[in-house]
Amino acid sequence: MTPATDTPVEHTDVRTVGSTDALPIAPALGLSLDAARMPRKSTLVTRRILLISVLAVILGVVAAYVAQLLMLTINLITDLCFYGRVSDVIGPHAHTGSFVLSPADNQLGAWVILIPVIGGLLAGVMARWGSRAIQGHGIPEAMEQILTNESNIPARITWLKPLSSAFAIGTGGPFGAEGPIISTGGAMGSLIGQLLRVTANERKVLLAAGAAAGMAAVFGAPVASLVLAVELLLFELRPRSLIPVALAAVTAVGVRYATYGSAPVFPMPEVLQPGGWALISFVLIGGLVGFASVWVTKAVYGVEDMFEKLPIHWMWWPALGALVAGVVGWIEPRTLGVGYDNIDALVQGHFGLTVLLSFGALKFVSWVIALGSGTSGGTLAPLFMIGGSLGAVIGIGINHLVPGLNVDPRIAALVGMAAIFAGSSRALLTAVVFAFETTRQPACLLPLLGGCTAAYLISALLMHNTIMTEKIARRGVKVPSEYAADYLEQVSVGTVCSRNVVTLQTTQTLAEVRRWLAEDSADTQHRSYPVIDEKGHVKGMLPRRTLLDPQWHYTLALSELITQAPIAVDETHSLREAADHMVAENVGRLAVVSKSDPRKLVGIVTRGDILASHAQRLREARFKGRHIKLGKSNKAAPAA
HSE of 145 in the Cβ direction (CA atoms, 13 Å)? 26
Question: What is the average per-residue pLDDT within 581-601?
Answer: 83
Residue 35 binned pLDDT confidence (cut-offs 50, 70, 90): very low
- Tell me the whole-structure pTM to 2 decimals: 0.83
- Give the pLDDT band (50/70/90) at residue 603: confident
- Whole-number pLDDT of residue 258: 92
DSSP 611: H
Strands 601-606 and 528-532: unpaired
461-466 long-range contacts (CB < 8 A, ≥24 apart) are 462/291, 462/294, 463/294, 463/297, 463/298, 466/297, 466/424, 466/425, 466/426
Asked if residue 365 has pLDDT above 70, the reply is: yes
Region class of 220: left (phi > 0), else alpha (psi between -120 and 50), else beta: left
pLDDT at 398: 93
Per-residue pLDDT for 498 more than 60?
A: yes
Q: What is the pLDDT of residue 634?
A: 55
Contact call for residues 343 and 114 (beta carbons, < 8 A): no
What's the DSSP call for residue 542? E
State the Cα–Cα distance between residues 23 and 414, nearest whole angstrom: 46
Q: Confidence band (pLDDT; 50, 70, 90) for 638?
A: low
CA separation for the pair 371, 369 (Å, rounded): 6
| Res. 295: pLDDT tops 90 | yes
**What is the tens place of the pLDDT at every residue in 389-437?**
999 999 999 999 998 888 999 999 999 999 999 999 999 999 999 999 9
- Asked whether residue 276 carries a pLDDT value surpassing 50, the answer given is yes
> What is the structure's pLDDT at 143?
84
Q: Residue 89: helix, strand or coil by DSSP?
A: coil
CA-nearest of 423, 398, 395, 379 to 137 is 379
Rounded (10°) angle between helices 340-347 and 380-401: 20
For the cut 90, the answer to whether the pLDDT of residue 247 exceeds it is yes
Segment 254-279 shows an average pLDDT of 90
For helices 409-425 and 340-347, what crossing angle results, to 10°? 130
User: Distances in Å between the alpha carbon of 586 and those of 5, 567, 575?
Assistant: 11, 10, 16
Q: How far apart are CA 235 and CA 151, in angstroms?
A: 13
d(CA 138, CA 161): 8
pLDDT at residue 562, rounded to an integer: 80
Q: Is it the case that residue 207 has pLDDT exceeding 70? A: yes
First to last CA, the chain: 61
pLDDT bucket at 102, cuts 50 / 70 / 90: confident
Query: Binning pLDDT at 50, 70 and 90, where does residue 13 land?
Result: very low
